[in-house]
Amino acid sequence: MNENKLKFSVDTERLFKLGPNFLQSKDGQKALADGSLKGEDRLFMALSSSTLLNTTLLLPGKKLIELGEQFDDAYLLMSGEVQVVQNDKFYKLGAGSVIGLSEGMVGLASKFSATALTSVQVKIIPFHRVDNVIKNLPDELRAILVTIIKRNLAA
What pLDDT sits at residue 117? 97
Low-confidence ranges of the chain (pLDDT < 50): none
- Give the residues across from 93 on adjacent strands: 8, 82
What pLDDT sits at residue 116? 98
Q: Sign of the CA dihedral 78, 81, 86, 89? A: positive
What pLDDT sits at residue 96? 94
Predicted structure pTM score: 0.84
What pLDDT sits at residue 137? 85
What pLDDT sits at residue 36? 85
What pLDDT sits at residue 84? 96
What pLDDT sits at residue 148? 85
What pLDDT sits at residue 3? 66
Return the CATH number of the domain spanning residue range 53-154.
2.60.120.10
The span from the CA of 75 to the CA of 91, in Å, is: 17
Q: Count CB neighbours of 72 within 10 A.
A: 12
What pLDDT sits at residue 57? 97
What pLDDT sits at residue 28? 80
Q: Count CB neighbours of 70 within 10 A.
A: 13
